[in-house]
Amino acid sequence: MKDKPSPKTAGELPSLTPTMASRLLRLGLSESDQPVDLLLERVQAAEGARWFASAVTAVFGESAGRPGAELLSPATTLARLRLWKRQCTALAEQAADQDSWLQAMLGYFLAVAAALAHHQAMITDRPPGEAQATLAKLAAAVPLPWSNLLSQASRNARSLETQTPP
Amino acid sequence: MCSTQVGQVARQAFQPTQVTWILAALARGTSGRRDVNRHLMEVYAQPLEVYVRGSSCRWAGEPMEIVHGFLADRLGRADYFEKWQRSGLPLRKWLINGLHFYLREIADSHPDALRGDGWESLLRDPSQGPKTKLMVAVDRACMATIVRQALVDAGRECERRGLGRHWQAFQLYYFRDLPFADVACDLNEKVEKAKQMTRIAREYFRSAVRELFIRDGADPEHVDDAIRSLLKDAES
């Protein structure tokens, strides 16, 4: 299929029936079953902090008893963070149960957050505005020092969004 | 949910204290005013035209010319959009109210042109009373123009980010209603990849829709309420 240019004006779009307009407008609503919401539910449940620490260790390992120490270090390269993100995507696709899937999703978000916080770089195709909102939600739910990392990442995503030319 | 409750939800969803995109743009002077004018024309001209066509003021001229005159007049008033912000109303409702009073101003200067029912209907405030067929038509037109503008914005953004094929996947799935197997075939991709591409483009579309609501005064924390309010208003 040849690439077709995206419409530049509303006039170039196919006509919209009220039903189609309504269906499309509903896509603007936030989804309650997005990965971040399920993740928040798990982190905020009983033993959530313990689950979080064991999930970080399972995905990123630990150093001197500190789960995910490498992820928290600004010295970790962008290439390494990209690799982790890809590995987490693969882990999520292969997950045999919800808990494994949530661990992989947590790893994915933390890798994206570390890239934003340490390198001001977006390593996901998601819009910066969406990443900013997602990371801010997570920042409010996880323990220190991760909440600091996620808050910084969220601020940097916001800054990248406002720098985006119209 | 009754119409009064919907009205309350709509007001809660719009934040009178936040600095809206429109006020920030107007503060930039001529270029900002041009941006606001373009935005109003792209998103609101058609719903406003629907309102004029359904009103008793068709004698006053071409509906779209009346809409242009109305927007030029209100953009020329320094405090018009500050008053909108203080009102806590969605922009579409504020503009329809404004257009209603603009039509009354025209009618006042042509006292012979309106008689009987025409004058009565012009005296009624469109924001009050039960939902009329005209207001449903206006809200449907508004829903369509917001969706169309969001499609344009999201398509541009995807293209700018090198995600043109993701946007094609979105269009094939949501416009042509093709199953993912056919979307994948058209794009020469695996089905899982086509799903992922569609999902990513859908997030750009979601962001574009939400940005338009925020731009028009919706509280960023309550965009869902603002969207549901418009969906409810556009139901017959």
Residue A3 has a pLDDT of: 43
∠ CA B197-B198-B199, rounded to 5°: 90
Rg of chain A in Å (alpha carbons) = 18
In terms of pLDDT, which residue wins out, B24 or A65? B24
CB B180 within 8 A of CB B173: yes
Residues A40-61, mean pLDDT to the nearest whole number: 86
Domain ranges across chain B = 19-129, 130-236
Q: What is the pLDDT of residues B121-157, one digit of tens each?
A: 655 666 565 667 888 899 999 999 999 999 999 999 9
Residues A91-117, mean pLDDT to the nearest whole number: 86
Selected residues 54-73 of chain B with any CB under 8 Å from a CB in chain A: none
- Whether residue B187 is predicted with pLDDT greater than 90 in this model: the reply is yes
**Over chain A, what is the mean pLDDT?**
81
Separation between Cα atoms, residue A131 and residue A138, nearest integer Å: 11
For residue A25, give the nearest of B143, B152, B175 by CB distance: B143
C-beta atoms of A21 and B175 within 8 A: no
Residue in chain B lying closest to A164 (CA) = B157
Element spanning A62, H or E: strand A62-63
C-beta atoms of A9 and B223 within 8 A: no
For residue A18, give the nearest of B140, B158, B159 by CB distance: B140
Separation between Cα atoms, residue A102 and residue B188, nearest integer Å: 31
Separation between Cα atoms, residue B99 and residue B195, nearest integer Å: 44
C-beta atoms of B143 and A6 within 8 A: no
Whether residue B41 lies within 8 A of chain A, CB to CB, comes out as no
- Whether residue A166 is predicted with pLDDT greater than 60 in this model: the reply is no
Minimum mean pLDDT range among B92-96, B101-105, B147-151, B210-214: B101-105
Q: What is the pLDDT of residues B25-42, one digit of tens each?
A: 888 888 888 888 888 888
Question: pLDDT tier at B10 (50, 70, 90 boundaries)?
Answer: very low
Residues B44-69, mean pLDDT to the nearest whole number: 86
C-beta atoms of A26 and B227 within 8 A: yes
Separation between Cα atoms, residue B37 and residue B22, nearest integer Å: 10
C-beta atoms of B188 and A1 within 8 A: yes
In terms of pLDDT, which residue wins out, B17 or B147? B147
Exposed, middle or buried by CB within 10 Å (0-12, 13-18, 19+), for B103?
buried
In terms of pLDDT, which residue wins out, B111 or B9? B111
Whether residue B186 lies within 8 A of chain A, CB to CB, comes out as yes
C-beta atoms of B151 and A125 within 8 A: no
CB B178 within 8 A of CB B153: no
Question: pLDDT tier at A55 (50, 70, 90 boundaries)?
Answer: very high
Residue in chain A lying closest to B137 (CA) = A18
Tokens of A100: 């494994």
